[in-house]
Chain A
Amino acid sequence: MHEMAVTMSMLDLVLKEAAKAGARRVVAVNVVLGEMTGVVDRCVQTNFELMSRDTPAEGAVLSFRNVPKQARCRKCEHVFQPADICWACPKCQSVELEIIAGNELYVESIEVE
Chain B
Amino acid sequence: MEVKVLKDILSANNQIAEQNRRLLASKKIMAVNLMSSPGAGKTTLILRTVEALKEKARIGVIEGDVSSSIDAGKLSQAGITAIQINTGGGCHLDASMVNSALANLPLDEIDILFIENVGNLICPGGFDLGEHLKVVILSTPEGDDKPHKYPLLFTTADALVVNKTDLLAHVNFDLDGFRRTFKGINQKAALFTVSGVTGEGIREWGAWVMEKLGEVRSAK
Contacts and interface: CB of A to CB of B under 8 A. Distances in A.
Given A2-B123, A38-B123, A96 B3 contact: no
A38 B122 contact: yes
Interface in A30-85: 31, 36-39, 69, 71, 82, 84-85
Contact of A113 (B1, B12, B152): B1
B interface: dominant SS: mixed
Interface in B1-30: 1-13
B195 to A, nearest CB: 26
A85 B185 contact: no
Chain A interface, DSSP helix/strand/loop, else mixed? mixed
Given A36-B151, A36-B152, A103-B152, A111 B2 contact: yes
Nearest to B122: A38
A13 B184 contact: no
B7 A13 contact: yes
Interface residues of A, number: 41
Question: 7 smallest A-B Cβ distances: which pairs?
Answer: A95-B184, A2-B123, A1-B91, A36-B152, A107-B5, A38-B122, A10-B9
23 contacts: A2-B126, A5-B90, A5-B92, A9-B12, A13-B11, A17-B7, A21-B1, A36-B152, A82-B148, A84-B148, A87-B181, A96-B187, A99-B185, A103-B152, A105-B8, A105-B126, A106-B6, A106-B8, A106-B9, A108-B6, A109-B3, A111-B1, A113-B1
Interface of A: 1-2, 4-6, 9-10, 12-14, 17-18, 21, 23, 31, 36-39, 69, 71, 82, 84-85, 87, 94-97, 99, 102-103, 105-113
